Structures are given as structure tokens and as C-alpha cells.
Amino acid sequence: MMKIENLKADIGTKEILKGLDLTLEEGKVHAIMGPNGAGKSTLSKAIVGHYDVKITGGNIIYKGQSIVDMEPENRALKGIFLSFQNPVEIPGVNNAYFLRTALNAKRKHNGLAELNAAEFLRIMKGHLEGLGMKADMISRSLNEGFSGGEKKRNEILQMLILEPDVIILDEIDSGLDIDALRAVSEGINKMKDGKRSFLVITHYSRILDYIKPDYIHVLKNGRIIKTAGPELVAKLEAEGYESIEEEIR
Amino acid sequence: MSQKEIDKAVAGEYKLGFQVDIETDTVPPGLDEDTIRFISNKKNEPEWMRELRLKAFRKWQTMEEPHWAHIHYEPIDYQAISYYSAPKNPPKSLDEVDPKILEAYAKLGIPLEEQKQLQGIAVDAVFDSVSVKTTYTDELNKLGIIFCSISEAIHEHPALIKKYMFSVVAMNDNYFAALNSAVFTDGTFVYIPKGVRCPMELSTYFRINALGTGQFERTLIIADEGSYVSYNEGCSAPMRDENQLHAAVVELIAMKDAQIKYSTIQNWYPGDENGKGGIYNFVTKRGLCQGENSKISWTQVETGSAITWKYPSCILKGDNSVGEFYSVAVTTLAQQADTGTKMIHLGKNTSSTIISKGISAMKGQNTYRGLVKIGAHADGSRNYSECDSLLIGDQCGAHTFPYLECKDTKGHIEHEATTSKISDEQLFYLRQRGIKEEDAVSMIVHGFCKEVFSQLPMEYAVEAKALLNLTLEGSVG
Ligand SMILES: Nc1ncnc2c1ncn2[C@@H]1O[C@H](COP(=O)(O)OP(=O)(O)O)[C@@H](O)[C@H]1O
Ligand SMILES: [Mg+2]
């Protein structure tokens, strides 16, 4: 699905990703774990074409095509979705209107007819309940005044509606209480269809109890230093990231 | 996204900048008492009107152009302007209106021909110095509503004109109002009788066409007891290298329980990105809430003009009267706007609301200037003001000058102001969801203006949104 090769990237003048390799397999859940400041968010930003990140070397191949020079909206239209660590607030922009615009942009891109407001609302209603979102959340301004948990649910709502092919979840679990965590995880699990790939970025193992990963990758100092099966979670939990580094040395 | 790309997007092309070639009757540039007499004669005016004009002119000569606003421009040479330009052979019926003029209005989306007239909107079309056509007059007449050009009203309704013209904006109120009072050429007159709710939107479309002329229109709207009217004005002008002066005066009077809703979509030619050309828009608009429970609402969407100097105001004289001001002012290119409102609370329990949204991009300078005054006898009066500025790029500016005067200690004034930038983060968020950068900018800007657009009548809200998109077209790459 996606192949990241020897990726080097700067933020400002500082090199953050220092030759990172990672392959996302079709239908698999990849968890990325690593300490604060390791470059996890930078990796997710590099994939979606965020303006903060300057790619200085390597490549990202998605569906057989390099995307490093592609506009962010085109990456999105091709099926890459990022649930932001800190979703931004946009005053006055109606949440439902925004969602419908995004969905229709995608439908148009895929040669489908655009949905009118009624058709769209029907689709959205189904998802709201599952996520435990109040109906008024969609008539409010996009993320404005939302609590941390509401923002994360709203990210998941967007994911459910846009039905992307590669789903990157940057710390989707941070700041969530147990009910929210369960609702959000259920939403994510609904998207598993054997084809979509997931990149779950976290530094707690908690969410991995709900979203079962196929692979665990440890990111430290701008590189993936270890890839293993889900059994690695317990070891990381017990011994920390240092142990992995020592093991490699 | 680079600043250049943003700028490109922000400065939409001016799409109404065409000029039609018609034969005109244009007075040579210059301004003296003979010019005033010439205009008055052209309009076949009664003696009393001519005398009022001359009186205003003599006052104007003793006054000085004001320079307190946050705007900069080359001195205006009032002798270099032509004060009257009209299509030759003024039409007596629609059949006689020059087809080129009809075509010009059709191009602006305002068909004047009977069979094509806009549904539910009566239009007065003012072309340079004269009103060329007013639609739906018969239907309105049946209800006793008068909707005609101000020139016609001077002939047909002299009592109303004598009583109310200059009653809200005195002829020497300010320099530009005095000039207008002396040389005004046409404009719209509206009278809504007692208890009548005007069944359609009334609308005037002003078009400057002739070169080297100024436009000085005058509008007077009177809403008698318990009546209601929604009135809209639109305007545009050809693209030209030199500046043209537009100095209008609008007076509104709302009697007991009456309501006037006045909406403006201002789209005069803004000039180019170096500040060359464009309309100088110096306008005095004021409404008097004369009776109890009366209400006047100003809604304006200002996207055009090189310079905008205007402060639609309300004098809340009647007890429990209500004044509202909703404004979106966009300055891009090298445009300068100094706009806002005055809310003068005189009656008891009067209330006013001010919502001002300034958007600046490229080298645009946007100033909000507002006065809220609560008089000594205005017990229990209140004001709420909200002034928000949105900056796109870093060459533009936003300035806010709120003046508050509260003589009544029980009065209540609330003022909030914010300045924000369209953040890269917001833009990126929308783009990550597959929304094109240009659409993302427009979505954020529309979100910012929402409270104001929701005040516009439906048809005009659509126009205002489209206009905003055009103005901001290309603001992203
Ligand atoms: N906008 C920024 N400006 C400067 N430094 C940044 C910026 N964003 C991230 N960094 C730095 O880049 C490094 C990696 O950050 P990040 O990818 O957010 O880490 P993680 O998500 O793994 O906690 C950190 O040292 C952080 O301070
Ligand atoms: Mg992070």
C-alpha cells in the first residue's frame, strides 16, 4: 500500500527523520511507538504533505506512485487520511457543511455524483450514534469549543465518512476517557476491511488493547529501530524504549 | 503556500469593469453656482429646490475636506470633475431606453425589460446622473407605496421632500454631504404608508459609466407608522486609470413601530494593486428611529472602491427603538476602507448591535471606526459591539477605533474585538480532507462573515457570497 524509503526530513533547519524505512501492508494495522519528540508526528506530517516538514531525501511511494511532490489535497483525494494530534478550530465553518464539502470533493474525484444535504445527513446520522456524538455537534462550528474528546470523535467521524485507504491516527488516544476510547476504537475497527492500512501512532499501549495491531514499529531518533509482532508491546511496557536500543547495539 | 500565491488568489479580477458607448449629455468639468443652476435646470426643478442646492453649495465653499480618517489619497481636484452626465434624450418609457443601457444592466444581471424583470424585486436603475428605469411601480402604487427616482419625487411629492430631505443629514453635516446636497443628480425615493408591509424587496442599482464624472446620488426612505420595508443597493463602475468620486447621501426615517432594513453590496471598481484608479467612495448614511419601537438595520458588504469612507448610523430617538449595523468590509490590492457606524442612543430602553467583520489581504488597509453614545436620558439603553478582523498575508493592516460615550450611568455597553489570521494550520486541515486550497480559503472567510451574511435577504446573500469569492479569487495557488 505504502512504502517509505530512507526518508529524511527537516523541520526548520533541524533534521528530524534521518533515513526512515517503513512499509504499510494492505489490510494491516501498524502501530508506531516511541518516546516524545522521536519524530512520530513528523512522520505523519511528511506523509500528508504538511508545510512544516521539508523532505530532503528518500521517497514515499503510495499505490505505485511517489507522492512527495503532490499537493496535500491530492494526497487526501487519493485516500490518505490523517487524524490530527491537535485538530484546529475553524470558527463559523459549519461542521456538517465542511464534512459534506470534503465528501463531495472526494466523490467528484472518484467520478461519483455529489450528495445533497438530505442524502448526506442520512449517512452522517448513522455514524453519530455509534460515536456517541450529540446531534448538535454537527451543526456547530468545526471543532470550535469542542472538548479534547469531542475533537477526537469528530476526527473519527470524518474518517468514517471519507472512507480513506490509508488511515493515520496520531495519538488518537491522548486525552480520552475510557468511554471515548471505546467509541473511537469501535469506529476505527469498523473501517477494517482487509484492504485498508492503518498507522496507529501512540506512546501508550492502552489503545492497542482495542485496536489489535499486526506490527509494532519502534521509532526513535528519526528512524524505525525495530519492527516486531504485537508481543513487543508487553516488553516495551515492562522495559521501556531504552532496552530496545541496547538490544540493537 | 507562498505569499505570492495567496495574493494571486486574494485579488480576484474585477468582472464588471466594462464601459458602454452611448451618447451622453455631459457638462464640462468645473463647479460654481452656474453648474448648480445647470443641473437644476436640466432636471427642470422647482425654484425652492434650486435655492436649497445653492444654499448647500455656499455652505460647502466654507467647509474643509476632512482628513481624520485612516486613509491616504492624492488631493481631489473638485474643479476637474464633471458634475452631470446623462444618456442623451432621457427616456419616457422603457421602449425609449437606449438598448445599450438595457444591455449594460443585463450584463450586470439586472434585466429591466418587463418580461424579464427580477421576481419579487423592484429595481430603480441609476445610470450616471439619472434614473433610467424603475420597475414594478404600478403594483407598488396600489398599496400606496411610492418608489421612484428622487428627481421625480421632487416634482410629484414636494411636501414629503421639503419635510424630510436634509432632516436626518443636514446639508452642512459634513464636507461630502454638503457637496452632495449641492450637486446630487439622482437617487431613489421611497415612502411606505402606515401599516403597509412592502411585499417585495426594493432595490437600486447604481452604475457609473461616463468618464471623468462624479456620482452624487441621494436616497430618502420614509417608513410611516407600523410599516416595513427591505431596501437594497448595488453598484459597479468601469475599470479606469483615474479615480472617480462617489459621494452619496442616504437618509432613513422610521416612525413608530416601523422597520427599515437597508442592505448594500458595494462593488465599485477598486483600482489596481498599485493603487492606480478606483472609486473614492465618500458616503453619508444615517437613519433616524423617530418613533417608539422603530428599528433600522444597516447591512453592508463592502468589497469595492479604492477608498471607502462611510459610517451608516442610527439615531435612536424613539423609546425602545433598535439600531443594527452588520458589516463585512474587504480590502485587497491597495484598497483602503475606513468604515463603521455611530449609534446615538437618545430614547429610553434603546438598544443597538454592531457586528463588524474586516478582511484585509495584499496591501489592503481596513479600519473600523465606531461611536456608541448613550445620552443622559437614555435610561436602560444597551449596546453590543463585536469587531473582528481577519488578515490574509502580512502586508495588510487592520485597525479598530471604538469610541464610547455613556452619559447615563445605567446604560450598558459591551465591546469585543479580535484580530486573527487565516492560519496555515486551518488551511492545511481543510486541504488534508481533500478540499482545494482556494475553496479552503473561501470556506474560512465565509465562516468569518457568517453573522453578517445571515442578515442579508436571501438573493443578496447569494450574490454577496459569490462576490466575496470573486474578490478573493486566486488567494491561493
Ligand atoms: N513546528 C516545529 N518547529 C520546530 N520544531 C519542531 C516542530 N514540530 C516538531 N518539532 C521538533 O521535532 C521533533 C519531533 O517532533 P514530533 O515529530 O512532534 O515528535 P513526536 O510526535 O514523536 O512526539 C521534536 O524535537 C520537536 O521539538
Ligand atoms: Mg506527536
pLDDT per position as a tens digit, B266-314: 887 788 888 788 888 999 999 999 999 999 999 999 888 888 899 999 9
Q: What is the pLDDT of residue B143?
A: 93
Residue B442 has pLDDT above 90, yes or no: no
Q: What mean pLDDT do residues A154-177 have?
A: 94
B424 vs A29, residue with greater confidence: A29
Q: What is the pLDDT of residue A197?
A: 97
Give residue for cell 407608522. Answer: B225
Q: Which CATH number applies to A2-248?
A: 3.40.50.300
A59 vs B15, residue with greater confidence: A59
Q: What is the dihedral of CA B374, B376, B379, B385, to 10 degrees?
A: 10
Q: What is the pLDDT of residue A83?
A: 97
Tell me whether A112 touches chain B (CB under 8 Å): no
Nearest CB to B435 within list A51, A73, A91: A73
Q: Which residues of A touch B444 (CB under 8 A)?
A: 90, 93
How far CA A39 is from CA of A4, A9, A18, A32, B257, in Å, comes to 14, 10, 10, 10, 65
Task: Report how far residue B109's alpha carbon sits from residue B114's, in angstroms, rounded to the nearest whole number.
Answer: 14
Q: What mean pLDDT do residues B344-349 have?
A: 96
Q: What is the pLDDT of residue B424?
A: 86
Top residue of A67, A70, A90 to mutate, by most chain B CBs within 10 Å, is A90
Task: Compute the mean pLDDT over every residue in chain A, rounded to the nearest whole number.
Answer: 93
Residue B367 has pLDDT above 50, yes or no: yes
Task: Report how far residue B206's alpha carbon sits from residue B128's, in angstroms, rounded to the nearest whole number.
Answer: 7
- Name the percent of chain A lying above pLDDT 90: 76
- Confidence band, pLDDT 50/70/90 cuts, at residue B119: low
Q: Report the pocket of ligand 1 as residue ranges, CB < 6 Å.
A: A 11-12, 16, 34, 36-42, 52
Tell me whether A198 touches chain B (CB under 8 Å): no
Ligand 1 atom closest to residue A52's alpha carbon, by position in its atom list = 1
3-state secondary structure of B337: strand
Burial of B75 (0-12, 13-18, 19+ CB in 10 A): exposed
Q: Which residues of A14-52 are buried (b: 16+ CB within 10 A; e: fewer)?
A: ebbbbebebbbeeebbbbbbbeeebbbbbbbbbbbbbeb
Q: Which of A235-239, B93-97, B185-189 has the lowest mean pLDDT?
A: B93-97
pLDDT per position as a tens digit, B90-106: 555 666 667 766 776 67
- For B19, residues 6+ apart whose C-beta sits below 8 A from its C-beta are B209, B211, B238
A92 contacts B448? CB cut-off 8 A: yes
pTM of this structure: 0.81
B432 contacts A71? CB cut-off 8 A: no
Q: Please state the domain extents for chain A.
A: 2-248
Q: What is the pLDDT of residue B9?
A: 47
- Name the percent of chain B lying above pLDDT 90: 43
Supply the DSSP string of B81-109, one letter for each residue.
Answer: SB--EEESS--SSGGGS-HHHHHHHHHTT
Give residue for cell 526513535. Answer: A220
pLDDT per position as a tens digit, B188-245: 999 999 999 998 888 887 776 666 677 888 999 999 999 999 998 886 666 666 777 8
Task: Report how far residue A209's alpha carbon sits from residue A226's, in angstroms, rounded to the nearest whole number.
Answer: 20
B437 contacts A73? CB cut-off 8 A: yes
Task: Compute the mean pLDDT over every residue in chain B, rounded to the nearest whole number.
Answer: 85
User: Is the Cβ–Cβ distance between B81 and B29 less than 8 Å?
Assistant: yes
Residue B343 has pLDDT above 80, yes or no: yes
Q: Which of A92-106, A212-226, B135-149, B288-302 has the lowest mean pLDDT?
A: B135-149
Task: Report how far residue B144's alpha carbon sits from residue B138's, in angstroms, rounded to the nearest whole number.
Answer: 10
Task: Report how far residue A31's alpha carbon sits from residue B326's, in angstroms, rounded to the nearest whole number.
Answer: 51
CB atoms within 10 A of CB B245: 22
CA B352 from chain centre, in angstroms, equals 20
As for the ipTM of the complex, it is 0.96
Q: Which residues of A touch B439 (CB under 8 A)?
A: 101, 105
Residue A178 has pLDDT above 70, yes or no: yes
Task: Report how far residue B416's alpha carbon sits from residue B398's, in angstroms, rounded to the nearest whole number.
Answer: 15
Count Cα neighbours of B353 within 13 Å in the Cβ-side half-sphere.
Answer: 13
CA B283 from chain centre, in angstroms, equals 7
pLDDT per position as a tens digit, B246-263: 899 999 999 999 999 999
Task: Look at chain A and count its residues.
Answer: 249
Q: What is the pLDDT of residue B81?
A: 86
Q: Which of A11-15, A129-133, A183-187, B284-288 has the lowest mean pLDDT?
A: A129-133
Task: Report how far residue A44's alpha carbon sits from residue A84's, in angstroms, rounded to the nearest whole number.
Answer: 9
Q: What is the pLDDT of residue B1?
A: 45
Residue B114 has pLDDT above 90, yes or no: no
Q: Which of B201-210, B272-281, B374-383, B464-473 has the highest mean pLDDT?
A: B374-383
**Identity (one letter) of the amino acid at A12?**
G
pLDDT per position as a tens digit, A182-217: 999 999 999 999 999 999 999 788 899 999 999 999
Residue B115 has pLDDT above 60, yes or no: no
